[in-house]
Amino acid sequence: MSLLEDLKFRGLVNQMTDEEGLTEILNKEAVTLYCGFDPTGDSLHIGHLLTILTLRRFQLAGHKPLALVGGATGLIGDPSGKKAERTLNEQNVVEEFSNKIKGQLSRFLDFNENEQGAKLVNNYDWIGSMSVIDFLRDVGKNFGLNYMLAKDSVESRISSGISFTEFSYMILQSYDFYRLYKEEGCKLQIGGSDQWGNITAGLELIRKMTGQEEDERAKAFGFTIPLVTKADGTKFGKTEGGAIWLDPEKTSPYEFYQFLINTDDQDVIKFLKYFTFLSKEEIDALETEVAERPHERAAQIRLAQELTAFVHGESAVEQAENISKALFGGGDLKKLTADEVLQGFKDVPTYKVDTDDVGLIDLLVDAGISPSKRQAREDIKNGAVYINGERTQEMDKIISGEEKIEGKFTIIRRGKKKNYLIRYK
């Protein structure tokens, strides 16, 4: 399949400004394209992956991606898809966020020195030094008020209110496209479907500032991909605990893996198309697995493996599977590494011990696992206490070196589900 045919198969085509023209140019030459990422937080989240992976697909097909970090537009705030005004961050905060996002993007695209090598750019480099007069005279004059008011991102906010700051966001993003068009030869901007108005405004600015209509060979294009939703209509990437982040410090590889492996059968094939580089034949085979043997969850396992490896590396997949096996598949908790313990038991109650050896009964009470020594003895007698997954009924049990995972942790369970992490100083 051609690139566009593959994107259509995967359901990644939402809108294009000129399908015939874009098909022709993609087949004829290596195209430079860009997608913007505003630093509204210190990490990208799993929802950003669809545009990142789409940039990657273009790169693998021989085209050159530009990953734009919005150091300037991040100071303004995009009204697209928002019901209310954003809280503006200070410049030093946005700079810090920008640097972290640059680091993340550099993991997902190939930044080599050849013609298809990706490039990181920051729009603060050209917008930050622009004066108000230059902005209004050179750029703002190309935008009619009625034209801007008709855009969904603005129209949807008229009743609730929109500041001039956010109203001007469209102009700044349009100027990004123009600058990249002029300086990098960028002829295509991609983004989520909520960016359609901003993208087409950029095309209009390029046309006005370059007289593009006089030279069809200089034409630029816009392309959007769908926003990711689940079968129940809710937004993909949100959990009760918050967003699924690409930063392993905010969402551990194990949590990331578990989020994906719990994908509903109704969504898993769509997400395999969206988020993996598996072929049509491989995806079709997994679709058959879902239909005939849903209990084996082969498609969910493959989705979790592929995407965790892409974001966190192959070793993270092995870690996540080790933790999952230990927790849910009868695996040996003592074989976990210290890092795997921290990931798998991140949210359980933790108690720190500062002595080398401690009696089990004292530990159960001091850690708040059992409310009293009498109850602790009863729990042990009844077989309700497990050390690193193994039941113990020894009343005089001492927690010593052999019960310490890498000398740092002991996992105690009371009953079927209540886990506690004992951490040694």
Tell me the binding residues for ATP. 238
Residue pair 155/79 in contact by the 8 Å Cβ criterion:
no
Catalytic residue of the set 6, 42, 45, 165: 45
- Active-site choice (238, 250, 334, 397): 238
Question: Does 82 participate in catalysis according to the annotation?
Answer: yes
Q: Is 350 a catalytic residue?
A: no
325 is known as an active-site residue? no
Give yes or no: 295 in active site.
no
> Would you call 48 a catalytic residue per the annotation?
yes
- Which one from 82, 100, 230, 325 is the annotated catalytic residue? 82
Kindly name the residue from 173, 263, 343, 410 that is annotated as catalytic: 173
Q: Can 302 be counted among the known catalytic residues?
A: no
The closest of 205, 72, 186 to 129, measured between CA atoms, is: 72
Q: Which of 18, 23, 86, 392 is catalytic?
A: 86
Dist. CA 275–CA 406, nearest whole Å? 36
Active site residue 239: yes
Q: Which of 229, 239, 288, 393 is catalytic?
A: 239
Q: What stretches of 92-226 adopt beta strand conformation (E)?
A: 119-122, 186-192, 221-225
CA distance 304 to 46: 12
Long-range CB pairs of 91-99, under 8 A, 24+ apart, other chains included: 94/39, 95/71, 96/42, 97/39, 97/40, 97/41, 97/42, 98/39, 98/69, 98/70, 98/71, 98/74, 98/122, 98/124
Residues of each annotated binding site: 34, 169, 173, 238
Among candidate residues 6, 42, 152, 194, the one labeled active-site is 194
Per the annotation, binding residues for L-tyrosine are 34, 169, 173
- Name residues whose C-beta falls within 8 Å of residue 397's C-beta, 6 or more positions apart in sequence: 359, 360, 361, 380, 387
Helices assigned H by DSSP within 313-408: 314-328, 338-344, 360-366, 373-381
Q: Is 235 a catalytic residue?
A: yes
119 catalytic residue (yes or no): no
Annotated catalytic, 86? yes
Point out the residues that are catalytic: 40, 45, 48, 82, 86, 173, 194, 235, 238-239
